[in-house]
Amino acid sequence: MTIDASHPGPAEEDRPGSSLGRVMRGRLRRPGPAERMRILRIGGRSLRVSVREGAPGWPPLLLCNGIGASMELLQPFVDALDPRRGVIRFDMPGIGGSPAPAIPYHLHTLPSLLAGLLDQLGYEQADVLGISWGGGLAQQFALSRPDRVRRLVLVATAPGALMVPGNPRVLLRMLTPRRHRDPGYAARIAGELYGGSARKDPLVARDLLHATTRLGPTRGYFYQLIATVGWTSLPRLPKLRPPTLILAGDDDPIIPVVNARIMRWLIPRSRLHVYHGGHLELAADPERLAAAVEAFLDADLTPEGNQQ
């Protein structure tokens, strides 16, 4: 099944009183290229996929989202990218518009799903960006299928089970999808959970989670939690081949910035960019981080060019 949609952005962006609407109206949003939405069947799983075609010769950017979030969460970031850059987004099984699978899955089994997605779309290789939970997926894909990943961007993420954890109170809130289903609760905990801009304006985080995303079945969230059980990339990080940009916030309660510094030390062809903000800044302040991502994707990296 194929659904064509032009620029499927936040449905409530211009709603009077919407905090997200106030933020977005303060930016100069350029009209983006049309995005094609469809349901693809890959390896026995159905995925809702959005593709923004790019200019010839530009590798597409494959986005791997955080836990419980549908592809719409990153619409502000996609809008901030160069319109010549192709973008591929998808909802994980059981999240957003992707049906839940019959049984749970694990990160170790997912590289074939991403490779199958690229195959169906006709791409040999892509740049890959993963945020939070999606950063784990991006790492696993780059480790298992380095031939399919040109460059890797890891945002607000960590190497899995072997990491420096956040505050236990914060991590407990991550064990349920309540913040995705209760706007009032999301606003109350946003500052404590996400840090950064959410401390000053928790309604932005609430609107990002509710005005711009689609709910899937509750078990989809728990399947994502199960997928990370026992998973870590830490011993294999020195084997990561693609040039890697690590983006980390200096006020991220979920993923302390020390994890990014450890990853920078272990990943051979990596550079670290620590930004002022928290866990959701890629969507809450997209222009600033999109500029860093664009510069990395377009640059010729050398070992001497690494920076902290």
Element (H, E) at 151: strand 149-155
DSSP state of 85: S
> Would you say 13 and 211 are in contact if contact means Cβ atoms under 8 Å apart?
yes
Nearest residue to 206 via CA among 37, 49, 19:
19
Tell how far CA 256 is from the center of its chain: 17
Quick one: angle between helices 183-194 and 202-210, nearest 10?
Answer: 120
Longest CA–CA separation in the chain, Å: 50
Query: Can you read off the two tokens belonging to residue 252?
Result: 């991220």
Say which DSSP state 234 is in. G
Torsion of CA 253, 288, 76, 241, to 10 degrees: -70
Q: 273 forms bridges with which residues in the sheet?
A: 247
Provide the residue type at 193 as one letter.
L
- Let me know if 132 is a catalytic residue: yes
| Tokens 């920076």, residue located | 307
Q: Which of 18, 98, 132, 233 is catalytic?
A: 132
Single-letter amino acid, residue 90: F
C-alpha dihedral sign at 247, 90, 41, 54: negative
**What sign does the dihedral 224-225-230-233 (CA atoms) show?**
positive
Distance (Å, whole) CA 272 – CA 274: 6
Distance CA 212, CA 20 (A): 9
Q: Which residues are known to be catalytic?
A: 132
